[in-house]
Amino acid sequence: MPSNETPRLYSDLAWLWPLWGAPDGEYAEWCAHVVEMIAKHARREVRTLLNLGCGGGKNAYNLKRHYEVTGLDLSPAMLANAKKLNPECTFVQGDMREFLLPARFDAILIDDAVAYMTSREDLSRLFHAAYRHLEPGGVMLVSPDETKETFAQNETHVTRGSAAAEAKGKPENVDVVFVENNYDPDPADDTYEGLIIYLIRENGKLRVEVDHHKLGIFAADVWPALLREVGYDLYEDHWRPGSVKTHIAVKAAA
Protein backbone atom coordinates (compact mmCIF):
# COMPACT_ATOMS: atom_id res chain seq x y z
CA MET A 1 0.00 0.00 0.00
CA PRO A 2 2.22 2.87 -1.23
CA SER A 3 1.53 6.16 0.58
CA ASN A 4 -0.22 7.76 -2.42
CA GLU A 5 -2.78 4.92 -2.30
CA THR A 6 -3.38 5.01 1.46
CA PRO A 7 -7.11 4.47 2.04
CA ARG A 8 -8.81 7.40 3.75
CA LEU A 9 -9.88 5.12 6.62
CA TYR A 10 -6.18 4.93 7.56
CA SER A 11 -5.36 8.59 6.92
CA ASP A 12 -7.71 11.61 7.04
CA LEU A 13 -10.73 9.50 8.16
CA ALA A 14 -8.88 7.33 10.72
CA TRP A 15 -10.73 9.23 13.47
CA LEU A 16 -13.83 7.20 12.44
CA TRP A 17 -12.19 3.85 13.24
CA PRO A 18 -13.27 3.80 16.93
CA LEU A 19 -16.89 3.99 15.70
CA TRP A 20 -16.63 0.89 13.48
CA GLY A 21 -17.13 -1.96 15.94
CA ALA A 22 -16.56 -1.80 19.68
CA PRO A 23 -13.32 -3.49 20.80
CA ASP A 24 -15.27 -5.56 23.30
CA GLY A 25 -17.83 -6.80 20.73
CA GLU A 26 -16.97 -9.21 17.91
CA TYR A 27 -13.25 -8.50 18.34
CA ALA A 28 -13.43 -10.01 21.83
CA GLU A 29 -15.05 -13.20 20.49
CA TRP A 30 -12.44 -13.48 17.73
CA CYS A 31 -9.56 -12.90 20.15
CA ALA A 32 -10.89 -15.55 22.56
CA HIS A 33 -10.61 -17.99 19.66
CA VAL A 34 -7.10 -16.71 18.83
CA VAL A 35 -6.01 -17.39 22.42
CA GLU A 36 -7.40 -20.95 22.20
CA MET A 37 -5.63 -21.65 18.89
CA ILE A 38 -2.32 -20.33 20.22
CA ALA A 39 -2.61 -22.48 23.35
CA LYS A 40 -3.40 -25.53 21.24
CA HIS A 41 -0.58 -25.20 18.69
CA ALA A 42 2.37 -23.30 20.19
CA ARG A 43 5.35 -25.48 21.07
CA ARG A 44 6.68 -23.04 23.64
CA GLU A 45 5.29 -20.86 26.40
CA VAL A 46 3.66 -17.82 24.80
CA ARG A 47 4.35 -14.53 26.60
CA THR A 48 4.83 -12.12 23.67
CA LEU A 49 2.63 -11.52 20.64
CA LEU A 50 3.18 -9.38 17.55
CA ASN A 51 0.06 -8.18 15.70
CA LEU A 52 0.96 -7.29 12.11
CA GLY A 53 -1.35 -4.67 10.59
CA CYS A 54 -2.60 -3.90 14.11
CA GLY A 55 -4.69 -0.95 12.90
CA GLY A 56 -6.54 0.81 15.71
CA GLY A 57 -5.55 -1.81 18.28
CA LYS A 58 -8.91 -3.54 18.84
CA ASN A 59 -7.22 -6.95 18.77
CA ALA A 60 -4.49 -5.64 21.07
CA TYR A 61 -7.21 -4.46 23.47
CA ASN A 62 -8.40 -8.05 23.90
CA LEU A 63 -5.05 -9.85 23.67
CA LYS A 64 -3.07 -7.67 26.09
CA ARG A 65 -4.55 -9.42 29.14
CA HIS A 66 -2.99 -12.68 27.86
CA TYR A 67 0.29 -11.52 26.28
CA GLU A 68 2.75 -8.66 26.09
CA VAL A 69 1.48 -7.19 22.80
CA THR A 70 3.43 -5.30 20.15
CA GLY A 71 1.55 -3.90 17.15
CA LEU A 72 3.01 -2.94 13.78
CA ASP A 73 1.16 -0.90 11.18
CA LEU A 74 1.88 1.29 8.17
CA SER A 75 -0.48 4.08 9.20
CA PRO A 76 0.58 6.67 11.81
CA ALA A 77 -3.07 7.73 12.23
CA MET A 78 -4.17 4.16 13.03
CA LEU A 79 -1.21 3.69 15.37
CA ALA A 80 -2.34 6.82 17.23
CA ASN A 81 -5.80 5.21 17.67
CA ALA A 82 -4.14 2.00 18.87
CA LYS A 83 -1.96 3.83 21.41
CA LYS A 84 -4.96 5.76 22.75
CA LEU A 85 -6.86 2.50 23.33
CA ASN A 86 -3.81 0.63 24.66
CA PRO A 87 -1.31 3.02 26.27
CA GLU A 88 0.50 0.09 27.88
CA CYS A 89 1.31 -1.69 24.58
CA THR A 90 4.16 -1.04 22.14
CA PHE A 91 3.30 0.17 18.65
CA VAL A 92 5.73 0.50 15.76
CA GLN A 93 5.33 1.98 12.31
CA GLY A 94 6.42 -0.32 9.51
CA ASP A 95 5.48 -2.33 6.45
CA MET A 96 4.61 -5.90 7.35
CA ARG A 97 6.30 -7.15 4.18
CA GLU A 98 9.73 -5.77 5.10
CA PHE A 99 10.07 -4.86 8.78
CA LEU A 100 13.00 -5.47 11.07
CA LEU A 101 12.40 -5.42 14.84
CA PRO A 102 15.04 -6.03 17.52
CA ALA A 103 12.96 -8.80 19.16
CA ARG A 104 11.49 -12.19 18.23
CA PHE A 105 8.00 -13.17 19.40
CA ASP A 106 6.30 -16.30 20.74
CA ALA A 107 3.21 -15.68 18.60
CA ILE A 108 2.24 -13.55 15.61
CA LEU A 109 -1.29 -12.62 14.53
CA ILE A 110 -2.17 -11.44 11.02
CA ASP A 111 -5.87 -11.04 10.37
CA ASP A 112 -7.89 -8.43 8.45
CA ALA A 113 -4.80 -6.43 7.36
CA VAL A 114 -3.65 -9.34 5.19
CA ALA A 115 -6.32 -8.24 2.69
CA TYR A 116 -3.92 -5.45 1.69
CA MET A 117 -1.43 -7.95 0.27
CA THR A 118 -2.32 -7.65 -3.42
CA SER A 119 0.11 -10.18 -4.95
CA ARG A 120 1.57 -13.58 -4.15
CA GLU A 121 4.93 -11.86 -3.88
CA ASP A 122 3.52 -9.59 -1.12
CA LEU A 123 2.19 -12.62 0.76
CA SER A 124 5.45 -14.47 0.42
CA ARG A 125 7.48 -11.48 1.66
CA LEU A 126 5.10 -11.12 4.63
CA PHE A 127 5.40 -14.81 5.57
CA HIS A 128 9.23 -14.65 5.36
CA ALA A 129 9.40 -11.46 7.45
CA ALA A 130 7.13 -13.04 10.08
CA TYR A 131 9.21 -16.23 10.13
CA ARG A 132 12.34 -14.20 10.90
CA HIS A 133 10.52 -12.62 13.88
CA LEU A 134 9.09 -15.84 15.33
CA GLU A 135 10.85 -17.77 18.10
CA PRO A 136 11.47 -21.47 17.40
CA GLY A 137 8.35 -23.33 18.51
CA GLY A 138 6.33 -20.13 18.09
CA VAL A 139 3.04 -19.95 16.22
CA MET A 140 1.68 -17.54 13.61
CA LEU A 141 -2.04 -17.26 12.84
CA VAL A 142 -3.00 -15.95 9.40
CA SER A 143 -6.68 -15.34 8.86
CA PRO A 144 -7.83 -14.12 5.43
CA ASP A 145 -11.27 -12.49 5.16
CA GLU A 146 -11.91 -13.94 1.69
CA THR A 147 -10.64 -16.44 -0.85
CA LYS A 148 -11.55 -16.71 -4.54
CA GLU A 149 -13.95 -19.48 -3.56
CA THR A 150 -15.84 -17.45 -0.92
CA PHE A 151 -15.87 -14.06 -2.67
CA ALA A 152 -19.39 -12.73 -3.33
CA GLN A 153 -19.48 -10.31 -6.27
CA ASN A 154 -21.02 -6.91 -5.48
CA GLU A 155 -21.68 -7.85 -1.84
CA THR A 156 -22.70 -4.80 0.19
CA HIS A 157 -22.82 -4.34 3.95
CA VAL A 158 -24.26 -1.43 5.87
CA THR A 159 -23.08 -0.86 9.45
CA ARG A 160 -24.41 1.80 11.81
CA GLY A 161 -21.40 3.31 13.50
CA SER A 162 -23.49 4.56 16.34
CA ALA A 163 -23.98 0.92 17.41
CA ALA A 164 -20.38 1.11 18.61
CA ALA A 165 -21.03 4.25 20.63
CA GLU A 166 -19.42 2.76 23.75
CA ALA A 167 -16.09 2.37 21.93
CA LYS A 168 -13.24 3.99 23.79
CA GLY A 169 -11.83 7.06 22.06
CA LYS A 170 -15.00 7.67 20.03
CA PRO A 171 -15.55 11.19 18.72
CA GLU A 172 -18.39 13.17 20.34
CA ASN A 173 -21.63 14.26 18.59
CA VAL A 174 -20.94 12.15 15.51
CA ASP A 175 -23.16 9.51 13.90
CA VAL A 176 -21.78 7.46 11.03
CA VAL A 177 -23.08 4.83 8.63
CA PHE A 178 -20.47 2.71 6.83
CA VAL A 179 -21.56 1.33 3.42
CA GLU A 180 -19.10 -1.29 2.21
CA ASN A 181 -19.20 -2.70 -1.34
CA ASN A 182 -16.84 -5.35 -2.75
CA TYR A 183 -16.44 -5.74 -6.49
CA ASP A 184 -14.01 -7.77 -8.59
CA PRO A 185 -13.80 -6.27 -12.09
CA ASP A 186 -11.40 -9.01 -13.27
CA PRO A 187 -11.75 -12.36 -11.48
CA ALA A 188 -8.71 -13.65 -13.42
CA ASP A 189 -6.29 -11.44 -11.44
CA ASP A 190 -5.43 -11.35 -7.72
CA THR A 191 -7.12 -8.10 -6.68
CA TYR A 192 -10.57 -6.64 -6.11
CA GLU A 193 -12.01 -3.25 -5.17
CA GLY A 194 -13.37 -2.45 -1.75
CA LEU A 195 -15.39 0.76 -1.78
CA ILE A 196 -16.51 2.41 1.44
CA ILE A 197 -19.01 5.26 1.57
CA TYR A 198 -19.25 7.11 4.88
CA LEU A 199 -22.39 8.98 5.84
CA ILE A 200 -21.06 11.26 8.54
CA ARG A 201 -23.34 13.45 10.62
CA GLU A 202 -21.48 15.87 12.85
CA ASN A 203 -23.92 17.68 15.15
CA GLY A 204 -26.64 16.57 12.72
CA LYS A 205 -24.99 18.00 9.56
CA LEU A 206 -24.44 15.40 6.83
CA ARG A 207 -21.35 14.91 4.71
CA VAL A 208 -20.69 11.94 2.42
CA GLU A 209 -17.15 10.65 1.87
CA VAL A 210 -15.90 7.96 -0.50
CA ASP A 211 -12.86 5.72 0.01
CA HIS A 212 -11.29 3.18 -2.38
CA HIS A 213 -9.36 0.15 -1.08
CA LYS A 214 -7.35 -2.13 -3.38
CA LEU A 215 -7.45 -5.62 -1.86
CA GLY A 216 -5.92 -9.03 -2.63
CA ILE A 217 -7.89 -12.18 -3.41
CA PHE A 218 -6.28 -15.62 -3.81
CA ALA A 219 -7.48 -19.20 -4.23
CA ALA A 220 -7.69 -21.12 -0.95
CA ASP A 221 -4.76 -23.39 -1.86
CA VAL A 222 -2.36 -20.45 -2.47
CA TRP A 223 -2.14 -19.74 1.28
CA PRO A 224 -0.85 -23.11 2.53
CA ALA A 225 1.41 -23.47 -0.53
CA LEU A 226 3.19 -20.15 0.17
CA LEU A 227 3.42 -20.83 3.92
CA ARG A 228 4.92 -24.29 3.32
CA GLU A 229 7.55 -22.81 0.97
CA VAL A 230 8.81 -20.66 3.87
CA GLY A 231 9.20 -23.73 6.12
CA TYR A 232 6.28 -23.54 8.56
CA ASP A 233 4.47 -26.66 9.83
CA LEU A 234 0.81 -26.11 8.99
CA TYR A 235 -2.53 -26.67 10.69
CA GLU A 236 -5.92 -25.07 10.06
CA ASP A 237 -9.04 -24.13 11.96
CA HIS A 238 -12.35 -22.35 11.43
CA TRP A 239 -13.56 -19.61 13.71
CA ARG A 240 -17.25 -20.06 12.96
CA PRO A 241 -19.12 -22.49 10.72
CA GLY A 242 -18.66 -21.28 7.14
CA SER A 243 -15.84 -18.82 7.95
CA VAL A 244 -12.66 -18.80 5.86
CA LYS A 245 -9.91 -21.11 7.17
CA THR A 246 -7.38 -19.71 9.61
CA HIS A 247 -3.88 -20.97 8.81
CA ILE A 248 -1.88 -21.93 11.88
CA ALA A 249 1.80 -21.85 10.98
CA VAL A 250 4.32 -23.21 13.48
CA LYS A 251 8.08 -22.61 13.30
CA ALA A 252 9.86 -25.83 14.19
CA ALA A 253 11.44 -25.86 17.65
CA ALA A 254 15.23 -25.51 17.55
Q: Which residue is nearest to ligand SAM (CB)?
A: 55
Return all residues near 127 (Cβ < 8 A) that are at least 6 apart.
142, 226, 227, 230, 232, 249
Main-chain phi, psi angles of 117, to 5 degrees: -85, 110
Amino acid at position 83, single letter: K
Least distance in Å: CB of 111 to ligand SAM?
6
For 121-140, give one letter per residue: b (16+ CB within 10 A) or e. ebbbbbbebbbebbbebbbb
Query: Which lies closer to ligand SAM via its Cβ, residue 102 or residue 204?
Result: 102
Least distance in Å: CB of 93 to ligand SAM?
9
Which residues contact ligand SAM by CB under 6 A? 1, 10, 53-59, 73-75, 78, 95-97, 111-113, 116
- Pairwise CA distance, residues 81 & 75, whole Å: 10
Query: Which lies closer to ligand SAM via its Cβ, residue 55 or residue 138?
Result: 55
Least distance in Å: CB of 178 to ligand SAM?
12
Least distance in Å: CB of 122 to ligand SAM?
8
Calculate helix-pair angle for 222-230, 120-132, nearest 10 degrees: 40
Query: Which lies closer to ligand SAM via its Cβ, residue 109 or residue 227?
Result: 109
Query: Which lies closer to ligand SAM via its Cβ, residue 95 or residue 233?
Result: 95
